[in-house]
Amino acid sequence: MTGLAEINRTAKAQTQVNNLRYGGAVSSGSRIVVPIRPNLRPNGSVLDKSRDFAARHVLFLSRLSLATVFSWFGILKVANLSPVARLLGASIPFLAETPYLELLGTAEIVIGVGLLVNRLANQATVLMILHLLGTMSLFVIAPRLIFAPVFPVLTMDGEFVLKNVVLITSALVIMVLRPRPELLRRTQ
């Protein structure tokens, strides 16, 4: 019987502690149940809404960003304000002179506009890839401008040219993921 009396004394002491702790609101035999709903989420945080928007418009956003970059670079060349003229002058001198620099800039603006026009996006991405491969040819044509002192250490110009790998990959993503018009016509 001593064991039972001891259990009762312990329970009574615990009740007194609980009464002190919770101000008498909770007795020792009470249970608190907190309902948990697993699908309880805030009504769309800004991050969730941004992610949903980006997922729905990822191809357009990619085309818009590439169009902005190409148009901007092209406008600078047409206005004869492009810092790339120095790089062109040191590697392919005739491209750094009038009218070739302006023609190169105009081609970049045409690529930029083409990326934004739905019907021209595929052609613009092909032109963009060809243009960027031409720029990357500097690795072969003028390695002294790209690497310093030797491979694999890049100069600032080398970093500028190497980023074209990312731009080419972006163009390929646009080409592959864009809905093709002939497939759309078959389903209609």
Long-range contacts of the stretch 113-119 (C-beta < 8 A, 24+): 113/67, 113/71, 115/63, 115/64, 115/66, 115/67, 115/70, 115/174, 116/63, 116/64, 116/67
Residue 188 lies inside a defined structural domain of this protein: no
Residue 35 lies inside a defined structural domain of this protein: no
- List the pLDDT tens digit at each of the 188 positions of the chain: 556 666 667 667 666 656 555 555 555 566 666 666 666 555 668 888 888 888 888 889 999 999 999 999 999 999 999 999 999 989 888 888 889 999 999 999 999 999 999 889 999 999 999 999 999 999 999 999 999 988 899 999 999 999 999 999 999 999 888 876 665 555 55
Give the separation between CA 52 and CA 63, rounded to whole angstroms.
Answer: 18
Give the separation between CA 124 and CA 113, rounded to whole angstroms.
Answer: 8
Q: How many domains does the chain have?
A: 1
Residue 125 lies inside a defined structural domain of this protein: yes
Domain assignment of residue 149, given as a range: 54-178
Which tokens hold the place of 15? 């009740």
Which tokens hold the place of 68? 């902005």
Residue 21 lies inside a defined structural domain of this protein: no
Rounded-to-5 percentages of helix, strand, coil across the chain: 75, 0, 25
Residue 12 lies inside a defined structural domain of this protein: no
Residue 132 lies inside a defined structural domain of this protein: yes
Q: The whole model's pTM is what?
A: 0.68
Q: What is the CA 66 to chain-centroid distance, rounded?
A: 12
Residue 13 lies inside a defined structural domain of this protein: no
Residue 130 lies inside a defined structural domain of this protein: yes
